[in-house]
Structure 1
Amino acid sequence: MSKKHLQNSELETQVEEAMVQGEQFLEKNLKKILIALGALILIGVGAFVYVNKVSKPAAEKASAAMYVAEDRFLMGQDSTALKGEGIANMGFEAIQKEYSGSAAANLSYAYAGICLYDAGKYQEALDALKQFAAKDAYVAPSIQRLIGDCYAQLGQIKDAASAYEKAASMADNDAIAPSCLIKAGHAYEKLGDPKKALELYQSIKTKYYTAPEAQTVEADIIRATAAVK
């Protein structure tokens, strides 16, 4: 094996390890973000829809159905949360159909996407996540980041890079944007573009210098710099 081939192999391994660490962060934090802020979307963004376009009884049923499904989701019972179980628990997929157009249905796409991603059903997860719509600075970019993860798992690295960059732009805050930029950088490294990756890593140091990632990204900067040279 040539020295150059060995270096490329080591670089790819380092990038893979970094991407896995990023996915572990997502697993630990996205559910918390969604639970904490999803309710605000349901109440705030969906209030007008509920009151004016959905009858009050239907709105109450949708809220009750979401409560049960979310409870299963929090308990780690993803399959039950997604598919439902008996009359008491409709599940996210049924909520999407039964209350189509409501805030509950919209939010259920995000939950369903996470469940499907955890189950390794990346294309189905991608399809569900693309149905979710929000404009906040936390849930929306977190879901967009997960869309990038779906693309990455499907081997569509170029699309993954674009999704991560979009997520960073949507968030534009210290809490979400830096991790998205790091993921985008990892994707560009896999695409053989360490120069672009380096630009993204360095932007974290300059634009989000108070974020924890501004310190941890140093290893990525060193790796990408070496690859550019």
Structure 2
Amino acid sequence: MAENKPHTKHPAASAKNEDFDLQATADRAQDFYTRNKNVINIAVLAVVVIVGGYFGYTRFVKAPNEKKAQEAIFTAQNLFAVDSFKLALNGDGNNYGFLQVIDKYGGTKAGNLAKYSAGVCYVKLGEYQKGIDLLKEFSSGDLVVKSMANGLIGDAYMELNKADDAISYYKKAGADDNELLSPMYLFRAGLALEKSNKPKDAIAIYEQIKQKYPLSTEGGQMDKYLARLGVVK
């Protein structure tokens, strides 16, 4: 009696079945497209319009605006450099000041820089809240400039006798671990804490400066400030 052997699929048959499966998948895809082609075509067109519109905006609107904004801010920057803060803010009658640059080109890089510069002008002119508002609108990926903006906001709050707000911004300004700026702004936070009758918090700040920035100007003075708060080592 002949031995029954297990039935084994021939490789060609397997490949053929696989081809049939692939074909079936393609048929289903084609059928789906036929039934939904209007929706699909609209979606594809929308993507094309959005992408094309973005590149068109970048090339034909954004780039020219950036150039115009840089030209517009030039005179204001020169006035700012020689401490003519009122003229830098409002313009000289023939050229834009920072406020006009912000109004017309606020969404550009130059417009963003104008917010910082205008904020500085207002603080220098004693209009502290206006300075705070503009400095808060300013944004920067540069940690040094960001720290300076936060530190200036802290100074403005101190002038307005809002010590808690000042301390918050001094701490932000000192948080970026800059060897020059961090100990300076943390020191101001410590002084503000002393003024607010929070000696324990001030001691913590002074000890942080001493340990983390011992070679800084502020770091070399911390023993004196700690001693006056009763910490002698």
TM-score, scaled relative to structure 2: 0.71
Deviations 1:72-98 (A, max 9, x none): 0001111000011123x2000010111
1:107 aligns to what?
A: 113
Q: Check if 1:204 corresponds to 2:212.
A: no
Letter of the 2:183 counterpart: P
SS at match of 1:116: helix
Between 1 and 2, higher relative CO (CA 8 Å, sep ≥ 6) is seen in: 1
CA contact (8 A) 2:150 2:172 kept: yes
TM-score, scaled relative to structure 1: 0.72
Q: Check if 1:92 corresponds to 2:98.
A: yes
CA distance, structure 2, for counterparts of residue 52 and residue 144 of structure 1: 34
2:149 aligns to what?
A: 143
Letter of the 1:140 counterpart: K
| Cα displacement (A) at 1:53 | 8.3
Q: Check if 1:165 corresponds to 2:178.
A: no
1:69 aligns to what?
A: 76
| Cα displacement (A) at 1:206 | 0.7
2:52 aligns to what?
A: none
| Cα displacement (A) at 1:130 | 0.7
1:123 aligns to what?
A: 129
1:8 aligns to what?
A: none
Q: Check if 1:180 corresponds to 2:185.
A: yes
CA contact (8 A) 1:137 1:172 kept: no
CA contact (8 A) 1:116 1:125 kept: yes
CA distance, structure 2, for counterparts of residue 221 and residue 63 of structure 1: 48
SS at match of 2:83: coil
CA contact (8 A) 1:194 1:225 kept: no
1:82 aligns to what?
A: 89
Deviations 1:50-78 (A, max 9, x none): 95684333222211122211100001111
1:216 aligns to what?
A: 221
CA distance, structure 2, for counterparts of residue 202 and residue 148 of structure 1: 21
| Aligned-pair Cα RMSD in Å | 1.9
CA contact (8 A) 2:66 2:109 kept: no
CA contact (8 A) 1:204 1:214 kept: yes
